[in-house]
Structure 1
Amino acid sequence: MRAVLATDLSAASEATIENETCLACLGRIGIEEMHLVTVIPSNVHAGMPGIDFENRRKKAIETYRRVIERAEFDVEVHVVRGTPHRRIRGIAETIGASLTVVGSRGKSPLENRVIGSTARNLARTTETPLLVNRIERGSEEPDVLRQHLFRRLLYATDFSENADRAFESFSYLRHATQEATLVHVETPKDPDPTEDDPERRLAELAERLEEWGIETRVDVRRGDPSGEILAAESEFEPTTILVGSRGHSRLRRLLLGSVSEEVVARADGNVMLVPPTRTA
């Protein structure tokens, strides 16, 4: 399996790359080949006065390459120019990546609490499963907030086709997963909440995970989906939330469903977002 590891050479990116525990987790789920991608924005030029971008970039990338190679991954470096999220997404699609990893400082102190634009735009447009690796804020030398990426997963489902696709990610995540919490949120907008028993459906999913030795609990909630998923995160403290990027919504993929966008923007820890299957 191949992964794209996106870096803007910031402290957040450095924390993601240099955390050996996170790299080990990626190795456990079957990642063997890392593609380290850095995108030079179109408005940044090597000759800009007072800043030696080119030299800084070369030194940082070489350091990152050595770190990843020491973790026993094959490494390929891509330095490209353009719009970051478009170039990262394009490389991931070209190489057939199984995962794209991007670091994010997480919640902004501003009231709207948006994540960094590259992570946000990748979340809205990615064709590849996306892992937003949450980095602590307010530190000159930040660290990742949840080191063991897949040890405790919180899987949120609305029983849609794409939620089912996200669940199938356990086929490889299970090699690094010890605990899982399966969450469904009932809302007044559900077509017919009495038609099927969500607890029974979650229990069926739990049985599949328990066959793999994963300790599993189920949790049916009622209310606002994004708010209840985030409340479940606070209660169960997963290392990563696993969610499909589109459920019942009929919006285009470029207009990511509000629930998954809220979860990516406001979660305290890591979020893994699984997009719909690409249609021709």
Structure 2
Amino acid sequence: MTNVVSCIDAAALNDAVCDYSAWAAQQLEAPVTLLHVLEEQQRVQPDVTGNIGLGTREHLLDELAELDEKRAKLALQHGHLLLEQAAKKVQAQGVTVVTQRQRHGTLSNALLDMEDDMRLCVLGLHGEDSANQLHKVGSQLETVIRTVHRPLLLTPSSYTAPKQAMFAYDGSATASKGVETLAQSPLVKGMAVHVVMVADASSKHQEQLAWAKEQLENGGHHVSTALLQGEVEPSLHAYQKQYDIDLMVMGAFGHSRIRQFLIGSTTMKMLQESTSPVLVLR
């Protein structure tokens, strides 16, 4: 697990994806692999029956096949151009080792194939199908979150170098593992970390927060904790805004209300409302 994999598409937020990829690569002292995926286009077969002669039908089908071939070649060339532009941008920010990969198929399958060499995956919150629509998350994002087993850095449309991180903690085994991972990760080296739990104010939850704080402090972080009541998404975002936190961190698939929002409609609501990067730990 060595590479920062940066997912490039035709969306305007490629600049932010490149910026966050370069930042992460420098924090992790890792090379960058730029990935562009060409999805198979499903062409609707036209109805060329009826009163058209056989020769005319065959001619139309030949033209459609030729058009499909031209589209595929143009998509390939466009992908290469996107990757070359992204490589120049990442290299200009001081990343010396940058490779380019173009794949056919789906993004989730391409990332699964690359998992063995992946340390972190960076992709935009808004894909090319939603780049011009506010509060709409890229269509492939939920599939990637569910299937890829590496940390995911989901980026907004503009870049700000992260200075503070907030861990959305629920006390589950998965989230606790995420705390241990974050404590040792150079990705957040030197940052203040806020550990925030949305739950009732019980002694158990206080103890869990104290444990998380100890782990992160042992990793060299300045740590603040908060135990909030209310709905998960608005409570977390309100806290984030109050303390001007520019990186949200959460563990995927815990066993509480945060788990419910991670795998249900609240997850997408959380991501839709996010104006800062979200780091999802697996």
TM-score range, shorter chain: 0.7 to 0.9
Task: State the 4+ residue runs in structure 1 displaced beyond 6 angstroms.
Answer: 106-111
Question: Which residue is equivalent to 1:278?
Answer: none
Are 1:158 and 2:156 an aligned pair? no
- Between the aligned partners of 1:235 and 1:154, the Cα distance in structure 2 is 12
1:148 corresponds to which of 144, 161, 176: 161
Q: Which structure carries more helix by proportion?
A: 2
Pairing 1:38-57 to 2, within 5 Å after superposition: 38-43=36-41, 47-48=70-71, 52-57=74-79
* Paired residue secondary structure (2:78): helix
Residue by residue, what CA displacement relative to the aligned partner does 1:123-166 show, whole Å, maximum 9, x if unpaired? 2322111110111xxxxxxx32xx213x2100011110110122
2:198 corresponds to which of 179, 185, 197: 185
Say if 1:266 and 1:31 are closer, same or farther in 2 by CA, change over 3 A: farther
One-letter amino acid matched to 2:24: L
TM-score (norm 1): 0.76
Say if 1:261 and 1:172 are closer, same or farther in 2 by CA, change over 3 A: same
Structure 2 gaps of 5+ residues are: 43-67
Are 1:207 and 2:214 an aligned pair? yes
- Between the aligned partners of 1:258 and 1:168, the Cα distance in structure 2 is 28
1:59 corresponds to which of 72, 81, 85: 81
Question: Which residue is equivalent to 1:8?
Answer: 9
- Between the aligned partners of 1:34 and 1:74, the Cα distance in structure 2 is 6
Say if 1:36 and 1:131 are closer, same or farther in 2 by CA, change over 3 A: same
Question: Which residue is equivalent to 1:219?
Answer: 226
Say if 1:169 and 1:9 are closer, same or farther in 2 by CA, change over 3 A: farther
Say if 1:198 and 1:109 are closer, same or farther in 2 by CA, change over 3 A: farther
TM-score (norm 2): 0.76
Residue by residue, what CA displacement relative to the aligned partner does 1:210-256 show, whole Å, maximum 9, x if unpaired? 34442221110012222311222221221111101111159x99x82
- Between the aligned partners of 1:175 and 1:102, the Cα distance in structure 2 is 18
2:254 corresponds to which of 239, 247, 251: 247
Say if 1:237 and 1:271 are closer, same or farther in 2 by CA, change over 3 A: same
Say if 1:260 and 1:161 are closer, same or farther in 2 by CA, change over 3 A: farther
Pairing 1:20-99 to 2, within 5 Å after superposition: 22-43=20-41, 47-48=70-71, 52-70=74-92, 71-87=94-110, 89-93=111-115, 95-99=116-120
1:104 corresponds to which of 107, 125, 141: 125
Q: Taking every aligned residue pair, what percent have the same amino acid on both sides? A: 19
* Paired residue secondary structure (2:35): strand
Structure 1 gaps of 5+ residues are: 136-142, 188-192, 276-280
- Between the aligned partners of 2:83 and 2:252, the Cα distance in structure 1 is 31
Q: How much has 1:9 moved relative to structure 2?
A: 3.0
* Paired residue secondary structure (2:41): coil
Q: How much has 1:55 moved relative to structure 2?
A: 3.1
One-letter amino acid matched to 1:162: T
- Between the aligned partners of 1:198 and 1:241, the Cα distance in structure 2 is 20
Compute the RMSD of aligned alpha carbons: 3.2
* Contact 1:247/1:257, CA 8 A, preserved across alignment: no
